[in-house]
Amino acid sequence: MSPADLDIILNGLNFPTSDRTLVDRSDNDDSGVYKITDDIAIVQTVDIITPVVDDPYIYGQIAAANSLSDIYAMGAKVDTALNIVAYDNCHLTKEILHEILRGGIDKVREAGGVVLGGHTIEDIEMKYGLSVTGTVHPKRILRNNTIKSGDKIILTKPLGIGVITTSIKADEAPHSAIDKAVFHMKYLNKAASELAVEVGVNAMTDVTGFGLLGHLYEMVNNETSVELDFNSVPFIEESNKLAEMGFFPGGSLRNERYYQPFVKINNNSILPHKLTLMYDAQTSGGLLISVPKEKSNLLLDKLRSSGIEWAAIIGEVNDSAENNIVVG
């Protein structure tokens, strides 16, 4: 669903709130935050996806990692999760659903959380995900639109997952592409989030359905713009050929149509399919981190030392009030 569709659906709806509401959907952030005490706020999110791979256990892991990511994007820790399942009982076995749930449970355990239960309905299309609750200090919430001029932008996972998962459905994905996409989709953003909190950053979000440029645009506020270095953006190598072949999901093309007016291209050498890869809708993508310039190399070193060797500084924030993204 595009941002324009969401605007139409939510227009005029009056959501209940209170003085304990710290972040809600009106903020366009990754999770809602509600203050419990002066020292504790709960962070809540929910997400479900359809299968992106054939293996049910791996699908469960990916769906769970995708759901957990929004907690990490807020700088919070995972506490509890509830399974959400839509299941075709006529065509899928109970053993398949068992494996999907096992994959999700293992990821929640890896995140340090607990699974309290869940809810299942029958549907013609398989869907799975989690409703997740985390906690954070009310004064230490990381938002997605609090970037500051001079910040460096770090991306913690390579792009290209959308075209790879689409090519999997068409039985055109090479095994090397599948292996790399699965690895990154299963990889929790836990360590990256914890290191960002430890170093001290100004803003953070994760790259999912709106693609890199869509989520980066959400980070831009009324006093800033972002200059992006295309040659520094990490991509899964095989995604380039698949993009050239046109294996973009519909969401990626909708992203490009919607966000294109806010993006200026100052690099004529970027081929059209490579530019579209930056709008590619990601499943369980990486974190986008806006970090003060003087801390950027320290954070990058810590990320790479922790095993996230593909992390990269991809751009910087300036004080232009044009509220756009310049790709050079």
C-alpha to C-alpha distance for 89 and 30, rounded to whole angstroms: 32
C-alpha to C-alpha distance for 316 and 232, rounded to whole angstroms: 12
pLDDT tens for residues 167-221?
999 999 999 999 999 999 999 999 999 999 999 999 999 999 999 999 999 999 8
pLDDT tens for residues 222-237?
889 999 999 999 999 9
C-alpha to C-alpha distance for 245 and 277, rounded to whole angstroms: 12
Chain position carrying tokens 């913690």 = 156
Q: What percent of the chain has pLDDT over 90?
A: 88
Mean pLDDT for the chain overall: 95
pTM for the model stands at 0.95
Question: Is pLDDT above 90 for 1?
Answer: no
Rg (CA), the chain: 19
Q: Hey, what domains does the chain have and what are their CATH numbers?
A: 3-136 (3.30.1330.10), 152-327 (3.90.650.10)
Question: Is pLDDT above 70 for 323?
Answer: no
Residue 29 binned pLDDT confidence (cut-offs 50, 70, 90) = confident
pLDDT tens for residues 276-320?
999 999 999 999 999 999 999 999 999 999 999 999 999 999 987
Question: Is pLDDT above 70 for 32?
Answer: yes
Q: State the DSSP string of 52-117.
A: SSS-HHHHHHHHHHHHHHHHHHTT-EEEEEEEEEEE-TTTS-HHHHHHHHHHHHHHHHHHT-EEEE
